[in-house]
Amino acid sequence: MSREWCCFFGLDFMIAYRIVDRCIACGVCLDACERDAILTGDIYRILTERCGGCGMCADVCPVDAAKPSLVDDFAVAANS
C-alpha cells in the first residue's frame, strides 16, 4: 500500500492525520476518505495504519479538527 511521505531536513517521515477533540461528529469526512480510515463515535478517530495522509478529511472538515502528524514508527533517515 502506497503512503504519502514528507521530506524535511534530510529526513523522510510518513504523515498520517488525526482528529482532535474539537470534532463535532458531523460525518462530512467519512465520504472524503477513500481508505475507510475514519471511525465514527462521539469524536471521530483515524486509524493510523489505514491513513494515507492525503489530507482530504482536513480539507472538508468545517471545524478544522483533522490535523497532520508524523508517524514516528516509520521515521527513517533518507540515506539509510
Binding site for ligand SF4 (CB under 6 A): 17, 19, 23-29, 32-33, 35, 37-38, 44, 46, 51-57, 60-61, 63, 65-66
Nearer to ligand SF4, 14 or 19 (CB): 19
Cell numbers found for residue 64: 478544522
Nearer to ligand SF4, 11 or 69 (CB): 69
DSSP assignment of 13-41 equals EEEEEEE-TT-----HHHHH-TT--EE-S
From the CB of residue 53, how many other CB atoms can be counted at a distance below 10 Å?
19
Nearer to ligand SF4, 14 or 37 (CB): 37
